[in-house]
Structure 1
Amino acid sequence: MSTPTTIPAHDLARLARALPFWLSLGLIPLAWVAAMNGGWTIVLLPLVTWFLFSVLDAVVGVNLDNGDLEATDDDLFWYRLVTLLWVPAQAITLFGLLWYVPQADHLNTLERVGIFFGVGVITGTVGINYSHELMHQKNKLERFLADALLAMVLYSHFRSEHLLVHHRYVATPRDPVTARYNEGFHRFYPRVLRQSLVSAFKAEKAMLARKNKPWTDLSNPFFKYWGLQALCLIAALILGGWSGVALFLVQAGVAIWQLELVNYIEHYGLTREHLGDGKYEHVQPHHSWNAAHKASNWLLINLQRHSDHHYKPDRRFPVLQNYGPDEAPQLPFGYPVMTMAAMIPPLWRRIMNPRVREWRRTYYPKITDWTDYNRRATPQPR
């Protein structure tokens, strides 16, 4: 008689440590609750992701502990698994709701839009963030899953822009995603939408040119991007008709807005020192804002340890290191609070501009004229 299979004690310990990062999966049922009930429940997803996690940050505080840098992928299995499971969970929820909501008689137009606003909150806050983790990995499966998540929000070029442009030029005028000092989000947003698409395409075109291939070569990932996005739009049309397409566009727009809000705060006002001849110093931890708030890092799989992510981009999220105030600038609150503040430019400047000025005095006391660094420069051609 065979004995029941049990999980070894060391695996149970790893699972216990990873479980807080699985909280994001709890957002999926909330989307269905909103769709099946309507009314006030349509605000559940924004309330939980923006406000509940802000409260949890205040209650549970910060986490200054660091993961083991010697950990293998096997050691990190339970952490990695949540990013893999999220992809089918998001796809089933998004396309299932595109079928269910347009034909639900108990929902009016406002409720339908509100539901997909909430869906966009999770496809942006969680889905795009998980795609960010997956795109940084070297195996083809995880990179494909990253592409699938981005196609669901019509922002596939983010992979090219992030890997080929942002990480290379972060905290310089060549990076569209680095928010300039005193640049409000409402100016940043339309600028980055335009410039990041152009810079991503140019970066891929330049890579092909170095291989003596034209941009029209089928190895250009933009063809895959466009194909996957077209499939998502066709699926929305088949499942929900033109109403389904409209609702799909609502969630995609909200998701993109959520992503760019995060991009805005991650490097606001921070610049690498210009060394002359178009060269800048190497990226260091102090070129990204760091946040050690525990609950929002559970939701965002340590994205707020952004200083270490740019310093060591290959590290998986469980082993991203935290930096103290003597090594990297610190945000006063986690991303949920900071993104809400970013929507109110006077409040944002009041919170962040003194911190940027203090950062400049701390790390670059020899620079007395910041005029050129303050300019909202157009990225130079590559």
Structure 2
Amino acid sequence: MYKYFKHSYLTCFIVPSAVMTIFLAPQWAFLIPMVITSLNALVDNLTPPDRSVPEYSQHWILDAMVYLYVPIVSAYLFSLMWIVAPGDWLGLSATVSALVPVDLLAIKQEAGLRGLLASTFAVGYVLSSNHLYAHELVHRTTDRIAMLIGRWLLAMTGDAQFSISHVYSHHRNVGTSEDSATARRGESVYAFFIRSTLGQYRESWEVESQRLANSGKPLLSLHNRVLSGLAMTGFIYLLWYWAAGLIGIAVYTFVIVLAKFLFETVNYIEHYGVVRVPGTRVEPRHSWDCDSRMSSNALLNLSRHADHHANAHKRYWELETVDTSLQLSYGYIGTIVVAMVPFWWHRFAAPQLESWDRNSASPEEKILARQANQLSLNPVFMHGND
């Protein structure tokens, strides 16, 4: 039975615990990111990898773990909204006090500014996981309910366009200069965050422009999924303004930026430095892969990214690890920490990319790799060009 719940780490444990922490001890909410980061890094680096692909007969349980995340993370966002709002917004504390001997309002007032700041950072950190669950759902392009729920998860982090750019642009253009979500050799995660974020919106707009032109529908309308996605996020902004005015707007903006940055760091490590000839088949070798246990179990097998790009139709529980030249040996969370220190990251990535160039790249890709090394202007890539 364990195999059905090994991917329920966020849904059944982390996010519910985080909700309780923000309501009952908001001044300690900064521990939430610390616990998640430490737990993931320790398990990934101190336990054997998990390369198993169990057989499942009850797929509805695995789907339930995805859909159950939605109300729980919504409660998490609401917990911050209540902390930021003045007084006992919506009478929540009074309602709770009538049921159990807990005075939420007194706890919030005692936590003060420290509680607000700690809770804001903790919510922004955890909401980056919305992309994990939405990623699973928006790939189910023929399932309208899955697509709608996935887009709302993304709208919570101001990124509903991801359902367009990821599925219809990134998967087609990965590893090429046309893909904003493929990090260039020598590029820092900070520069990538800006370029990738803006580029994905451009790609989504281009996809929607073509789709609406083909169907004869107006571009500047809610038929445009870029605009409808922004409207969804705008609705959430209105809720924040209703709850806490301009302070609520500022807090929610910080949450969105932090959540988006953390997920773009995931994008960064998944294809960093890979090159591919446009129009050629996307193969497992065009992604970095990871078989670390916690990365696999906690992140819906997103770490098995090479198989995902080669077989995008697979559900998360069907994905397999691949022995490619590019391996994230620290696990996802550990590698994200490394990526935030560019000097460290480039020296981690360069030897593996050199091996990839030599052993995995096609003849045409070897030429592109040499050009990428030269354009990087980074000595760790340029030394082997001659």
**1:144-176 deviation digits (Å, cap 9, x = unpaired):** 110111111111111111011101100000000
Shift of residue 217, structure 1, vs aligned partner: 4.5
Partners of 1:31 and 1:61 in 2: CA distance: 31
Secondary structure class of the residue paired with 1:269: coil
Matched, 1:38 2:23: no
- Could you tell me which residue of structure 2 aligns to residue 134 of structure 1? 137
Aligned pairs (5 A) from 1:63-82:
63-68=50-55, 75-82=58-65
Q: How many matched pairs? A: 349
- Could you tell me which residue of structure 2 aligns to residue 18 of structure 1? 4
Matched, 1:144 2:148: yes
Partners of 2:131 and 2:287 in 1: CA distance: 19
Secondary structure class of the residue paired with 1:290: coil
Partners of 2:179 and 2:361 in 1: CA distance: 20
**1:305/1:320 contact within 8 Å kept:** yes
Instruction: Flag structure 2 segments of 5+ consecutive residues without an equivalent.
Output: 87-107, 377-386
- Could you tell me which residue of structure 1 aligns to residue 286 of structure 2? 287
**1:272-305 deviation digits (Å, cap 9, x = unpaired):** 1x3xxxx432100000011011112211110000
- Could you tell me which residue of structure 2 aligns to residue 324 of structure 1? 323
1:349 to 321, 335, 346: 346
> Which of the pair is proportionally richer in helix?
2
Higher mean C-alpha displacement, 24-33 vs 182-191: 24-33
Shift of residue 35, structure 1, vs aligned partner: 4.3
Partners of 1:365 and 1:135 in 2: CA distance: 31
Higher RCO structure (Cα 8 Å, ≥6 apart): 1
Which amino acid in structure 2 is aligned with residue 170 of structure 1? V
TM-score by length of 1: 0.86
- Could you tell me which residue of structure 1 aligns to residue 219 of structure 2? 215
Q: Where does structure 1 differ by over 4 angstroms across 4 or more consecutive aligned residues? A: none
Distance verdict in 2 for CA 1:270–1:37, change over 3 Å:
same
Partners of 2:125 and 2:245 in 1: CA distance: 23
Give the fraction of aligned pairs with identical amino acids, expressed as a percent. Answer: 26
Matched, 1:87 2:87: no
**1:31/1:118 contact within 8 Å kept:** no
Partners of 1:63 and 1:218 in 2: CA distance: 44
**2:22/2:79 contact within 8 Å kept:** no
Aligned pairs (5 A) from 1:91-170:
91-103=74-86, 104-124=108-128, 126-137=129-140, 138-170=142-174
Aligned pairs (5 A) from 1:260-299:
260-272=264-276, 274=277, 279-299=278-298
Shift of residue 107, structure 1, vs aligned partner: 2.5
Partners of 1:165 and 1:49 in 2: CA distance: 31
- Could you tell me which residue of structure 1 aligns to residue 104 of structure 2? none
**1:241-264 deviation digits (Å, cap 9, x = unpaired):** 322222222211111011100000
**2:165/2:201 contact within 8 Å kept:** yes
**1:43/1:118 contact within 8 Å kept:** yes
Instruction: Flag structure 1 segments of 5+ consecutive residues without an equivalent.
Output: 1-12, 377-382
Distance verdict in 2 for CA 1:353–1:180, change over 3 Å:
same
